[in-house]
């Protein structure tokens, strides 16, 4: 059985002192989000990238030309003041969603661990609020849609055309793709748009731009979308690589009736 759970986990927070010691290149502010990062050299001197460290979360790499074009250097005192204030307002724990596949896994092992199935798994143990314990495979967000499709969970939409998918989304559907991304509608800067919600799944920026999606950072959140009148071509390119597997809105309605 596939369980979708939500619980609190510790947040990785970085104090200013530790970051300042490692940030040999100083502190930089993103020109759009206005957030400040500690910048350090990449361990591999052959690559033209640096490491960014934020108040919260793991380090990430950035190409030097992006650092020069999208960030501005800030003085140590200004960085310290901003950093300490941001650190204090960042919760030490936050909710996180988990997917645990439990029960008799061996009979369906070939379905979930086949050639195109999931590759990396971790065994997890969860204690529910009622005291019940669950032990099973902890699936990553990117693996969940594939596992659901292989187990026959949800409504497959792989045969639908891009125009049909667009009609569904415009009609209120929330379409989940085979890697966990979701298609929905939104209104951004006064325009009705088709939005691609990454849903916590890692994405390659060049891939998204290649589909024709626009990128904006709104309220410190990066969003990917296309104005609805230009969505046909973008959706055709996207669905050629990422297949729709189910309508989450329909699934939610079915569950509520049950």
**Contact between residue 221 and residue 198 where contact means Cβ atoms under 8 Å apart:** no
Confidence of residue 131 (pLDDT cuts 50, 70, 90): confident
Among 106-115, 173-182, 237-246, which stretch is predicted with the lowest mean pLDDT? 106-115
pLDDT higher at 255 or 153: 153
* Phi (first) and psi of residue 73, to 5 degrees: -75, 145
pLDDT at 255: 44
What is the pLDDT, as a whole number, of residue 208? Answer: 95
| pLDDT above 70 (res 213) | yes
d(CA 27, CA 39): 6
CA distances from 226 to 14, 192, 202, 234 (A): 35, 9, 20, 8
Please write the tens of the pLDDT for every residue from 56-77: 988 888 889 889 989 999 999 9
As a whole number, mean pLDDT of residues 119-133 equals 77
Straight-line distance from the first to the last Cα atom of the chain, in angstroms, rounded to the nearest whole number: 18
Pairing of strands 191-197, 214-218: unpaired
The string of pLDDT tens digits covering residues 9-64 is: 888 999 999 999 999 999 999 998 899 999 999 888 788 899 999 999 888 888 89
Angstrom CA distances, 176 to 9, 77, 115, 120, 143, stand at 25, 45, 22, 22, 12
The strand pairing partners of 216, in sequence order, are: 223
φ, ψ of residue 163 to 5 degrees: the values are -65, -40
Which of 203, 200, 195 is CA-nearest to residue 235?
Answer: 195
For position 254, what pLDDT does the model report?
A: 40
Q: What is the mean pLDDT of the chain?
A: 83
pLDDT for residue 71: 94
What crossing angle do the helices spanning 162-170 and 231-241 adopt, rounded to 10°? 120
Here the contacts of 139-143 (C-beta below 8 Å, separation 24 or greater) are 139/2, 139/99, 139/100, 139/101, 141/97, 141/99, 141/180, 141/199, 141/200, 141/201, 142/179, 142/180, 142/201, 142/202, 143/99, 143/118
Query: pLDDT tens digits, residue range 175-203?
Result: 988 888 999 999 887 678 999 999 888 88
CA–CA separation, 177 and 247 (whole Å): 9
């Amino acid at each position: 059985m596939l369980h979708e759970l939500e619980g609190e986990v510790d947040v990785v927070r970085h104090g200013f002192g530790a970051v300042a010691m490692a940030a040999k290149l100083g502190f930089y502010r993103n020109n759009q989000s206005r957030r400040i990062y500690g910048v350090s050299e990449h361990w591999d001197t052959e690559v033209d990238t640096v490491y960014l460290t934020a108040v919260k979360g793991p380090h990430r790499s950035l190409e030097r030309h992006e650092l020069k074009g999208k960030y501005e250097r800030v003085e140590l005192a200004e960085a310290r003041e901003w950093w300490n204030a941001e650190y204090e307002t960042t919760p030490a724990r936050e909710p996180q969603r988990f997917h645990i596949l439990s029960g008799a896994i061996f009979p369906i092992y070939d379905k979930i661990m086949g050639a195109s199935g999931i590759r990396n798994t971790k065994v997890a143990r969860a204690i529910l609020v009622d005291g019940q314990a669950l032990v099973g495979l902890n699936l990553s967000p990117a693996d969940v849609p594939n596992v659901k499709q292989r187990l026959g969970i949800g409504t497959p939409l792989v045969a639908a055309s891009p125009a049909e998918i667009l009609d569904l989304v415009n009609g209120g559907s929330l379409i989940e793709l085979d890697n966990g991304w979701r298609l929905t509608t939104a209104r951004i800067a006064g325009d009705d748009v088709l939005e691609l919600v990454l849903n916590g799944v890692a994405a390659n920026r060049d891939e998204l731009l290649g589909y024709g999606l626009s990128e904006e950072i709104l309220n410190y959140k990066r969003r990917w979308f296309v104005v609805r009148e230009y969505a046909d071509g973008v959706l055709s390119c996207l669905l050629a690589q990422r297949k729709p597997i189910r309508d989450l809105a329909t699934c939610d309605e079915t569950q509520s009736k049950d």
